[in-house]
Structure 1
Amino acid sequence: MTSVRVALRATGVVSPQAAGALAYRFFHRPVMRGRVRPAERSAHMFATTETLDVGGKRVVTYRWGDGAEPVLMLHGWQSRGSRFAAFVEELRARGLTPITFDAPGHGDSGGTCTNVLEYAEIARRLQDRYGDFRAVLAHSLGVLGAFQALRSGVRAERVVAVGAVCDMEYLLDRFSSELGLAARVKAELRARADARLLAPESDIWQRFSASYGPESVRVPILVVHDEDDHMALADQGHRLAAAYPDQARLFVTRGLGHSRVLGDPTVVAEVLRFLDAAPRREPAEECAA
């Protein structure tokens, strides 16, 4: 990112408009694809893989189990579905079917970029295939996608948000701060994002935040956030929990940061306790012969 920062600063001196265009290119496209980590290889290897076509992009999906009692897992920016490997066997032991995917531009999926609307569309397509979700588990940017999915018709009994990005505008502020963008360049970047990122949608910074329209998400929520998360600052987790005061509980950790929190044994155990507290579904009655 150092070379990107230098290029943007140099371009911004000559033309804020050109720098804004360049910044937008990096803002909505991941600069790297997450690879399967050694600790994830076993789970990744034994997943049943399938594909979806979403807006002309090939999306790879992963399933462990027969599809009954599905739990949907949504990864974050420059990440991939295998990051949930620590949950796979534990969920399977409870008779649940973990399901995840690599978003467009991530992992093994096609495309070069993605957005929260694509996350929501993938979630709806997976619901059409497997039915309502016992739970939705999301990390980082995936939390924005999860809440957009829930507001647009995806049904789940419980929601877990780990290392959440709560506010869409936080992404813009964080990106601009990391690259040291001048105010005029940031303004150009924002204008391009307004016009193109989720076009033809409007008012994207409010409407696509996880805290927007809390009346549309009426299920128990567990918010897990690490106080030492330097990617999604702890305030984002606190803001998300505060937006759902009657149904959200905040579980705070320390010393794990943004990535390690997802697979930490203490966090995994807390998430599983939360899911175990959900009432069990009654099996469908069979018709007499």
Structure 2
Amino acid sequence: MKVYKEIVAQARELTSSDITEQETILWRLLCYAAKMPLRKNQEELISQAQHIILQAPDTYFSGRILPFNVFKWGTGSRLILVTHGWSSKAADFTSLITALTVIENVTVVAFDAPGNGSSPGELSNLILYTEALQAIYRQFGNPDIVIGHSLGAMANMMSLEQAGIKPELLISIAPVINLKALFNNMMEAVNIPEKIRETFFERFFERFKEPASAYDLTNYTLEAASKDHWIAYDDKDAVVNTDFLIAFLKLHPAIETTLFSGTGHEKLIRQEELLQELMQRVRRILL
């Protein structure tokens, strides 16, 4: 957390005309995932898992193949995949994973995306998440149920579409819909001038060969995403703009939703009422 606070302080003072310096600081602001130590209950959960190391290519930053840590509970035939959000980790789903592992005949898989939690990597990004998910599909096969939070929910939808996988149930908690909007929100929060933001998005295009606006779930058909999709969200979410979610839902009217107003972006995954409804939906599929 100390490193992240230093990055934020640098970003708040960003007035330099040096475009390379601007880009370096802004990528660190947007893609450095602060790492928090495990609490005791989280340590206990992780100690009960089988630990597996997989790899994902980091095409756009380090240019290396990055290892990342995967955790597996159970040996059942029904596979449940859990994908954490930005600057988070598998252990942040301790309450949910503990409840899932009680169900008979399931295997639960979660992971720390490259650059997040226990996995090495200086900077992380959405593409690294999707590459990690593709590696998990190759290792464990097609999941029956996929659960994700925030950027992880967005990565789930993109990777399932790319792989042509259709789980029986897809659960998205406070999903990011529009990556450019998220980046703008993060930069506005530390008072980055509009001109510097515009220049950053020009450099984004040079690096990724696509504009940031391309990473928008309204551009995806999502025909392969799931047979059954449920989204839980907070209309007062301070991290993701719910307007983009509403626009997305208009394109996909079959998606079911539940509003947990005022819960908070990070707290949603621990909200008791949400966990109860989530488990009801999971059991409906598995039992």
Q: Distance in 1 between matches of 2:13 and 2:98?
A: 50
Q: How far has the Cα of 1:218 moved from its partner? A: 4.5
Q: Which runs of 5+ in 2 are unaligned?
A: 58-64
2:282 corresponding residue in structure 1: 275
1:156 corresponding residue in structure 2: 167
**Counterpart residue identity of residue 235, structure 2:** E
Question: Residues 157 and 222 of structure 2 are in contact (CA less than 8 Å); yes or no, is this contact kept in structure 1?
Answer: no
1:84 corresponding residue in structure 2: 93
Q: Deviations over 1:214-266 (max 9, x none)?
A: 343352111111233212243344344333112x1111113321111101221
Aligned residues: 274
Q: Secondary structure, in 3 states, of the residue corresponding to 2:172?
A: strand
1:285 corresponding residue in structure 2: none
**Counterpart residue identity of residue 230, structure 1:** A
Distance 1:258 1:10, change over 3 A: closer
1:283 corresponding residue in structure 2: none
Q: How far has the Cα of 1:46 moved from its partner? A: 0.8
Q: Distance in 1 between matches of 2:118 and 2:5?
A: 26
Point out the structure with max Rg over C-alpha. 1
TM-score by length of 2: 0.86
Question: Residues 172 and 190 of structure 1 are in contact (CA less than 8 Å); yes or no, is this contact kept in structure 2?
Answer: no
Structure 1 residues 176-187: aligned runs within 5 Å: 176-187=187-198
1:33 and 2:44 correspond: no
TM-score by length of 1: 0.85
Q: Secondary structure, in 3 states, of the residue corresponding to 2:253?
A: coil
1:191 to 197, 202, 209: 202
Q: Distance in 2 between matches of 1:165 and 1:274?
A: 22
Distance 1:242 1:20, change over 3 A: farther
Q: Distance in 1 between matches of 2:50 and 2:257?
A: 33
Q: Distance in 2 between matches of 1:18 and 1:103?
A: 27
Q: Distance in 1 between matches of 2:286 and 2:265?
A: 31
Distance 1:7 1:129, change over 3 A: closer
1:132 corresponding residue in structure 2: 142
2:10 corresponding residue in structure 1: 7
Question: Residues 10 and 25 of structure 2 are in contact (CA less than 8 Å); yes or no, is this contact kept in structure 1?
Answer: no
Q: How far has the Cα of 1:27 moved from its partner? A: 3.9
Q: Distance in 2 between matches of 1:103 and 1:155?
A: 22
2:237 corresponding residue in structure 1: 229
Q: Deviations over 1:163-195 (max 9, x none)?
A: 211111122211221121111110121122222
Distance 1:11 1:119, change over 3 A: closer
Q: How far has the Cα of 1:126 moved from its partner? A: 1.7
Q: Deviations over 1:9-35 (max 9, x none)?
A: 5442x4162553134332443251133
Identity of aligned residues (%): 17
Question: Residues 67 and 130 of structure 1 are in contact (CA less than 8 Å); yes or no, is this contact kept in structure 2?
Answer: no
- The CA RMSD measured in Å over matched residues stands at 2.3
Question: Residues 134 and 157 of structure 1 are in contact (CA less than 8 Å); yes or no, is this contact kept in structure 2?
Answer: yes
Question: Residues 120 and 146 of structure 1 are in contact (CA less than 8 Å); yes or no, is this contact kept in structure 2?
Answer: yes
**Counterpart residue identity of residue 177, structure 2:** C
Structure 1 residues 104-143: aligned runs within 5 Å: 104-143=114-153
1:64 and 2:73 correspond: yes
